[in-house]
């Protein structure tokens, strides 16, 4: 299969894909470009697939539920009672909708936390996305025997049906420090270390979570997890979703362990959890900062292009500095950093890599004036990314390629 007239990093190319991998990227000579443009051939732009690093995909079933409630009331009044009604079949349908929605906005990998994981695994397989799917645990539903057997049986079934075209991994996700006790967190960290899985947890999402942790344990959440030995056990396999209320010591600790955190700007804004995500500080401390949408009950959609825009604008606005987190850097946060946290190969568009990109239609008002012939590739690329992220959004994604 050859994708013709595709911009890669600002250079017009033909991209060939064979057996799921990119077999050739051929830059076009200037006379060929002029001929193709003159003949009205439509050019598209290729961007590495995005990695939605924190979601609960089946929550498409609860889209926009409980709008206007703060986190604890939202969970208790709008979410947990509805989730109690969900069946594995409903969860499969919800996750399938989610995977299709993610593909439509350029996402090729996602990091999920929910229950009835086999339903979500099935949906990921059916839509060709790479995924890490974590079994969500709270104290209320935790029982070691059934937990271990569910995990091991699912892992064995996954190994049997693995078709090697996509990578789906299994991991564990204690819901949060306020829903999972210290001994259970320690047990789950041991389990994650033993089975070499990721350890995905909601972390310091609200000021209340932080204050409650200090009043109950005398230290803030990251120090509490370190003191429990969780970070020593799971190290760089730790993924903290939200990580919004951190102090400098906690940021330094996360950096020392090479941990990942996932910013979910739309969810944080919608639930009124806060808006001062410490991106620069985390990045500079060596933390792998990723981007996610969260589930559709709090972020309302799974659109990672919109999440890139909101993340970038929040950094610029809250720091009164328009140079912070430019378009190419927020794209790296939303793509390469996520893949790194998932242990996936880099998703760059280059020969030998698995086909993992989305194509953007540039024949529309948002890209009018994008200089196709005289600008340098680097300038064109930056101009394109600015228009995609800040202006066009997901409506211009014409195809997502995963093989």
Chain residues 38-77 in contact with Zn ion, contact rule CB under 5 A: none
Q: Closest distance between Zn ion and the C-beta of residue 144, in Å? A: 24
The DSSP secondary structure of 10-61, one letter per residue, reads TEEEEEEEETTEEEEEEEPPHHHHHHHHHTTPPPEEEEEPEEEEEE-GGGGG
Cβ 265 to Zn ion, closest distance in Å?
13
Tell me how far, at minimum, the Cβ of 224 lies from Zn ion, in Å: 19
Q: Which is nearer to Zn ion, 169 or 298 (CB)?
A: 298
Rg of the chain over all Cα atoms, to the nearest angstrom: 21
Q: Measured from the CB of residue 294, what is the shortest distance to Zn ion in angstroms? A: 5
CA distances from 57 to 26, 99, 193, 203, 403 (A): 37, 7, 25, 19, 21
CB of 111 to Zn ion, least distance (A): 10
Residue number, 294 or 306, with CB nearest to Zn ion: 294
C-beta closer to Zn ion: residue 264 or 397? 264
Contact 27, 85 (CB under 8 A): no
Smallest separation (angstroms) from Zn ion to the CB of 204 = 13
Binding to Zn ion in span 180-199, by CB under 5 A: none
Counting residues that bind Zn ion (by CB under 5 A) gives: 1
What number of other Cβ atoms are within 10 A of residue 100's Cβ? 15
User: Which residues inside 255-314 make contact with Zn ion, applying CB under 5 A?
Assistant: 294
* 200/354 with CB nearer Zn ion: 200
Q: How far is the CB of 334 from Zn ion (least distance, A)?
A: 17
Q: Residue 5: left if φ>0, alpha if ψ -120 to 50, beta else—which one?
A: left
Q: How far is the CB of 176 from Zn ion (least distance, A)?
A: 9
Closer to Zn ion by Cβ: residue 179 or 394 = 179
Q: Shortest CA distance to 198 belongs to which of 151, 267, 150, 141?
A: 151
Which residue spans within 243-353 are E strands per DSSP?
A: 260-263, 288-291
Backbone angles phi, psi at 12, to 5 degrees: -80, 130
Residue nearer to Zn ion on the CB measure, 111 or 402: 111
Least distance from Zn ion to the Cβ atom of residue 296, Å: 11
Q: How many CA atoms lie within 13 A of 219 on its CB side?
A: 11
Q: Which residue, 56 or 237, has its beta carbon nearer to Zn ion?
A: 56
Residue 222 host element (H or E)? helix 221-228
| 88's tokens | 């594995």
Whose Cβ is closer to Zn ion: residue 75's or residue 360's?
A: 75
CB 113 to Zn ion: min, Å: 6
Per the CB < 8 A criterion, the answer to whether 89 and 111 are in contact is no
Residue whose C-beta lies closest to Zn ion: 294
Q: Which is nearer to Zn ion, 294 or 303 (CB)?
A: 294
Closest Cα partner for 117 from 168, 53, 184, 81? 168
* Burial class for 198, CB neighbours closer than 10 Å (0-12, 13-18, 19+): buried
Identify any residues that bridge with 134 across adjacent strands, giving them in sequence order: 113, 171
**What percentage of the chain's residues is helix, strand, coil (to nearest 5)?**
50, 20, 30
* Separation between Cα atoms, residue 31 and residue 33, nearest integer Å: 5
Contact flag: residue 205 with Zn ion (CB under 5 A): no
Helical H segments across 108-202, by residue range: 117-127, 144-161, 182-195
Residues present in the chain in total = 403
Q: Which is nearer to Zn ion, 250 or 294 (CB)?
A: 294
The residues of the shown chain that bind Zn ion, judged by CB under 5 A, are: 294
């Amino acid at each position: 299969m050859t994708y013709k007239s595709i911009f890669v990093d600002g250079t017009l190319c033909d991209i060939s894909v064979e057996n799921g991998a990119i077999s050739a990227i051929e830059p076009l000579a200037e006379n060929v470009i002029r001929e193709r443009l003159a003949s009205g051939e439509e050019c598209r732009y290729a961007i590495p697939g995005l990695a939605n690093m924190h979601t609960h995909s089946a929550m498409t079933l609860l889209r926009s539920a409980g709008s206007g409630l703060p986190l604890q009331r939202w969970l208790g009044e709008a979410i947990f009672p509805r989730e109690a009604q969900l069946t594995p079949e409903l969860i499969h349908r919800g996750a399938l909708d989610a995977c299709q929605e993610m593909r439509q906005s350029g996402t090729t990998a996602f990091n999920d936390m929910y229950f009835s994981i086999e339903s979500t695994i099935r949906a990921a397989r059916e839509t060709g996305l790479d995924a890490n799917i974590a079994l969500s645990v709270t104290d209320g539903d935790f029982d070691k025997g059934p937990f271990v057997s569910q995990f091991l049986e699912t892992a064995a079934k996954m190994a049997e049906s693995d078709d090697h075209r996509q990578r789906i991994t299994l991991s564990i996700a204690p819901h949060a420090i306020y829903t999972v006790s210290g001994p259970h967190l320690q047990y789950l960290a041991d389990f994650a270390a033993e089975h070499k899985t990721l350890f995905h947890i909601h972390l310091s999402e609200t000021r209340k979570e932080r204050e409650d942790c200090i009043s109950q344990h005398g230290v803030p959440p990251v120090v509490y997890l370190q003191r429990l030995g969780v970070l020593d056990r799971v190290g760089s396999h730790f993924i903290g979703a939200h990580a919004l209320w951190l102090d400098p010591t906690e940021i330094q600790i996360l950096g020392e362990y090479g941990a990942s955190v996932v910013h979910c700007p739309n969810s944080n804004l919608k639930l009124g959890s806060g808006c001062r995500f410490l991106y620069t500080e985390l990045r500079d401390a060596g933390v792998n900062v990723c981007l996610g949408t969260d589930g559709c009950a709090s972020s309302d959609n799974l659109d990672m292009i919109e999440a890139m825009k909101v993340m970038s604008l929040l950094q610029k606005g809250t720091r009164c500095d328009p140079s912070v987190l430019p378009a190419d850097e927020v794209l790296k946060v939303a793509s390469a950093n996520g893949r790194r946290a998932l242990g996936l190969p880099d998703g760059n568009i280059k020969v030998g890599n698995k086909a993992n990109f989305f194509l953007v239609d540039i024949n529309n008002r948002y890209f009018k004036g994008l200089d196709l012939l005289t600008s340098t590739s680097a300038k064109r690329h930056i101009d394109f990314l600015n228009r995609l992220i800040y202006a066009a959004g997901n409506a211009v994604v014409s195809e997502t390629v995963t093989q």
